[in-house]
């Protein structure tokens, strides 16, 4: 368990700092990245490093939550474009090889939305 | 680990089938539900049961992924309104009491989006 948690902490720290050799070292050779809601896919270590290294903009991220166990992990990050107001939330599901390398990454980016009037009586707003 | 996984499987099965006594039995008395992107909050077992029991529409759900460990769990569900086309994706982060009851639920509902042109050279579409 601790190992998967540590790998994901190192993954995001390397991504934020642009330490691409460290980042690459955590990925399986045939790692697959998917963003199911935009139907984006990136295949293989080199392409996944490039996707992150060349991801447009001047950005930073910080891990807000991390759940790890049973050869899996899920993180929630705060993603910030320098000079823009507001931040995005990224949720990533990770799968690992038996050697502890990352073999699958699945990303979700939930946006803010208005509570529908139909359930206004069931919750409070904060 | 196995215990948290089993609790969340029972939680969603009870929610889908409308077995509200079973559902309530998995929640701590002072459970808190939050949907950070709509800023909805529901406090206490009775109110959380009601939020789900009276959630508008004729709906069903199925668990698509579940990661559990270290007193936490994250699930991804497919949520379907009967008679409507398409399904929604719900991602929920769970925290547990020492007794294994659910003490916090945090929900995210990511929508589909178009891949920005600025990263079209970095990924393929599927």
Note the pLDDT tens digit of each residue in B36-92.
999 999 999 999 999 999 999 999 999 999 999 989 999 999 999 998 888 999 999
> Residue A68 pLDDT > 60, yes or no?
yes
DSSP state of B24: H
- Whether the CB-CB separation of B108 and A110 falls below 8 Å is answered with yes
- What lies within 8 Å, CB to CB, of A9 at 6+ separation is A63, A66
From the list A94, A121, A88, A97, the residue with the least C-alpha distance to A107 is A94
In chain A, alpha helices (H): 2-17, 20-25, 45-53
- Burial of B102 by CB count in 10 Å (0-12 exposed, 13-18 middle, 19+ buried)? buried
Rounded to whole angstroms, how far apart are CA atoms A75 and A69?
12
CATH number reported for the structural domain that contains residue A105 in this entry: 3.10.450.50
With respect to residue A119, please indicate whether it lies within any of the assigned structural domains. Answer: no
For residue A125, the chain B residue with the least C-alpha distance is: B40
Inter-chain CB pairs, A–B, below 8 Å:
146
Domain housing A57: 2-112
With respect to residue A44, please indicate whether it lies within any of the assigned structural domains. Answer: yes
- Burial of A83 by CB count in 10 Å (0-12 exposed, 13-18 middle, 19+ buried)? exposed
- What lies within 8 Å, CB to CB, of B109 at 6+ separation is A110, A113, B35, B37, B88, B89, B90, B91
With respect to residue B122, please indicate whether it lies within any of the assigned structural domains. Answer: no
- Whether the CB-CB separation of B27 and B92 falls below 8 Å is answered with no
Rounded to whole angstroms, how far apart are CA atoms B43 and B29?
9
In the predicted model, what is the mean pLDDT of chain A? 96
pLDDT band at A70 (very low <50, low <70, confident <90, very high): confident
Note the pLDDT tens digit of each residue in A85-121.
889 999 999 999 999 999 999 999 999 999 999 999 9
> Tokens at residue B24, please?
């309530």
> Residue B14 pLDDT > 90, yes or no?
yes
With respect to residue B53, please indicate whether it lies within any of the assigned structural domains. Answer: yes
Residue B23's pLDDT is: 98
- Mark yes or no for CB contact A41/B67 under 8 Å: no
With respect to residue B89, please indicate whether it lies within any of the assigned structural domains. Answer: yes
With respect to residue A18, please indicate whether it lies within any of the assigned structural domains. Answer: yes
CA distance to partner chain A, nearest, from residue B74 (Å): 7
With respect to residue B124, please indicate whether it lies within any of the assigned structural domains. Answer: no
Q: How many structural domains is chain A composed of? A: 1
For residue B113, list chain A residues with Cβ-Cβ distance below 8 A.
Answer: 37-38, 109, 111
Rounded to whole angstroms, how far apart are CA atoms B110 and B89?
6
> Residue A46 pLDDT > 70, yes or no?
yes
With respect to residue B119, please indicate whether it lies within any of the assigned structural domains. Answer: no
What pTM does this model have? 0.96
Note the pLDDT tens digit of each residue in A15-45.
999 999 999 999 999 999 999 999 999 999 9
Dihedral of alpha carbons A22, A25, A29, A31, sign: negative
């Amino acid at each position: 368990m601790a190992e998967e948690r540590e790998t994901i902490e190192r993954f995001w720290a390397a991504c934020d700092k642009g330490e691409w050799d460290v980042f690459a070292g955590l990925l399986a050779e045939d790692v697959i990245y998917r963003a199911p809601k935009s139907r984006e896919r990136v295949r293989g270590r080199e392409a996944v490093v490039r996707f992150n290294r060349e991801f447009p903009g001047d950005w930073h991220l910080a891990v807000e939550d991390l759940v790890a166990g049973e050869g899996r992990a899920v993180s929630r990050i705060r993603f910030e474009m320098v000079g823009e107001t507001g931040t995005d939330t990224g949720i990533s599901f990770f799968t690992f090889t038996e050697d502890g390398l990352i073999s699958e990454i699945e990303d979700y980016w939930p946006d803010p939305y208005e509570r529908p009037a139909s359930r206004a009586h069931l919750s409070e707003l904060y």
